[in-house]
Amino acid sequence: MKEKIDINNWIRKDHFKFFSAFEEPFFGVTVEVDCTATYEEAKENNVSFFLLYLHKSLLAVNQVEPFSYRIIDGEVWKYNTVNAAATINRPNGTFGFGYMDFYEDFEEFKTEANKEIEKVQATTGLIPASSGENVIHYSALPWLNFTSLSHARNYSYQDSCPKISFGKVREENGRKIMPVSIHVNHALMDGYNVGQFVEAYQDLLNEKEVKAYI
């Protein structure tokens, strides 16, 4: 489900028109998050650390409204739910694209996401997911402790999906620290909104809801 934003009466009207004229309207930041509690939670409950931190990022994304805005044929639409279009790594070093629906309950999300992971890993090629516009483009680079990141872009395509990438977890003073890159379309949101996401994500990473994952 989605609803159209009335641009003429939108508080971001001027911002939207200004940045929509850019050849590259995306801006990006790289931050570090403390994922100690979530890492321990995954180990304690024998669940995928990747799926757990991915799910918590989707929980945060769905709390910050501008992450649900998309530009379609020059109009702005707001989706009720945002899902994941994620790169799935294979043992042979390649990857494929997978589509994962968002569920508030982690157990339900994990079950469906594992089906998608198994499907992608059992095949070859990219397998572009028919995911629509209401997704976050996710990628994981667990081999790299990056401090910045750029993305391949097709400038002839009007892209407005946010892109979030996760890096290598490192140990620092007994804590688990992970770099996270966030790229968003400036016509739809500002640094303030990215900050809202990072704050919400860190709060969720700090929480250990063991009962939900038994």
Strand segments (E) across the chain: 2-4, 26-34, 69-72, 75-79, 83-89, 95-100, 135-140, 163-166, 170-172, 175-185
Contact yes or no for 11/182 (Cβ under 8 A):
no
Cα–Cα dist 141/154, whole Å: 21
- Which residue among 55, 151, 183, 186 is the active-site one? 186
Number of residues in the chain: 214
CB count in 10 Å sphere of residue 142:
13
Indicate the angle between helix axes 49-61 and 36-45, nearest 10 degrees. Answer: 130
Indicate the angle between helix axes 49-61 and 106-121, nearest 10 degrees. Answer: 120
- The gap from C-alpha 155 to its chain's centroid, in whole angstroms, comes to 21
Q: Is 186 annotated as catalytic?
A: yes
- Residue 126 CB contacts under 8 Å (≥ 6 apart), including other chains: 95, 96, 97
Active site residues: 186
